[in-house]
Amino acid sequence: MSNDPIKDVLHRMPYGFYSITSRHGDDVNAMVANWLMQASFTPRLMAMGFAKKSYSYDLIKESGVFAVNLFLKGNEEAMTPFTKARAKRPDKMEGAEYTPGPETGCPILAEAAAYLECKVVKFIDIGGDHDIMVGEVINAGVIKEGDVNDTLTLPHVGWSYAG
């Protein structure tokens, strides 16, 4: 435990571990994210805490679309190329295997187990280093069988992005 109980509690919350893919014109990107949740049944909305400084932030703001790629436990290495920021690894998409999503054109990564395609409903500036992005799910696909217990999570890989 640290001297910061808020940080300690936030680190105890389990988070998913996803790849958010985006495109604007011919420019595509993939990043990892974990502050993502369903926020409405009707319409089906997703809300995500989104770092304002990320390369994908501008791509998604311009195009209005993104995809969420889910992975199975054991496929952590498939996400490794996307853990570095585009500024640190500008060529990270050159070797990436993906197909364009049928509704958004956003990359559906070859190793993904499932995906959601979304159109942006709203960016909400909350005054911090992240904004809240809300997207409506407009398409989805299951590529590999599994359930919530099989889905890769941040605790599973031993990482933390909280506090």
Per CATH, domain 5-157 is 2.30.110.10: yes
d(C-alpha 142, C-alpha 116), whole Å = 9
Q: Give yes or no for a contact between 31 and 82, defined as CB atoms under 8 angstroms apart.
A: yes
Domain ranges of the chain: 5-157
* Token pair listed for 49: 């805490």
Helices (H), the chain: 5-12, 55-63, 76-79, 154-157
Q: Is the pLDDT of residue 88 over 90?
A: no
- pLDDT in the model for residue 104: 98
Structure confidence at residue 112 (pLDDT): 97
pLDDT at 118: 98
* pLDDT per residue as tens digits for the range 20-39: 999 999 999 999 999 999 99
Task: State the pLDDT at residue 157.
Answer: 85
For 104-139, how does the pLDDT look when each residue is reduced to its tens digit (9 = 90+)?
999 999 999 999 999 999 999 999 999 999 999 999
CA distances from 12 to 8, 15, 73, 133, 163 (A): 7, 9, 19, 23, 10
* 80 close to 111: Cβ distance less than 8 angstroms: no
